[in-house]
Amino acid sequence: EIVMTQSPATLSVSPGERATLSCRASQSVGTNLAWYQQKPGQAPRLLIYGASTRGTGIPARFSGSGSGTEFTLTISSLQSEDFAVYYCQQYNNWLLITFGPGTKLDIK
């Protein structure tokens, strides 16, 4: 099983500032890594796939980078609607897909 870890667990940032979220895989997943955003009471939404490709309709302030075992999601200038929980997911091992535990992005 590929274990995904995310840091920090909670990140407090002011609107307009940059947020940087990290995700680490226990073994290489290449670029088969996605980021999802989830707001309370809502389903997850695909933000980034292939480690760096934005999903349909995702604003340019969201960007992803990394490969292998280390990945980063950057939100360049936080808007009020960006405060949510963010999950990374590896889909390199199709027979056992795993998610990270999530990072909660809070308003500072």
Task: Round to whole Å and give the CA distance between 47 and 72.
Answer: 13
Q: Which of 16, 42, 80, 81 binds another protein (CB under 8 A)?
A: 42
Shortest distance, position 31 Cβ to another protein, whole Å: 9
Q: Measured at the alpha carbon of residue 87, what is the angle toward residues 86 and 89, in degrees to the nearest 5?
A: 155
Is position 63 an interface residue for another protein (rule: CB under 8 A)? no
CA distances from 106 to 8, 68, 74 (A): 12, 28, 15
Nearer to another protein, 38 or 72 (CB): 38
Please count the residues of this chain forming the interface with another protein, following the rule CB under 8 A: 27
HSE (CB half, 13 Å, CA atoms) of 66? 26
Q: State the residue for tokens 């990945």.
A: 71
Q: What are phi and psi of 28, to 5 degrees?
A: -60, 135
Contacts with another protein in 87-106 (CB under 8 A)?
87, 89, 91-102
Q: Which of 23, 25, 34, 73 binds another protein (CB under 8 A)?
A: 34
Is position 22 an interface residue for another protein (rule: CB under 8 A)? no
State the residues that interact with another protein by CB under 8 A: 30, 32, 34, 36, 38, 42-46, 49, 55-56, 87, 89, 91-102
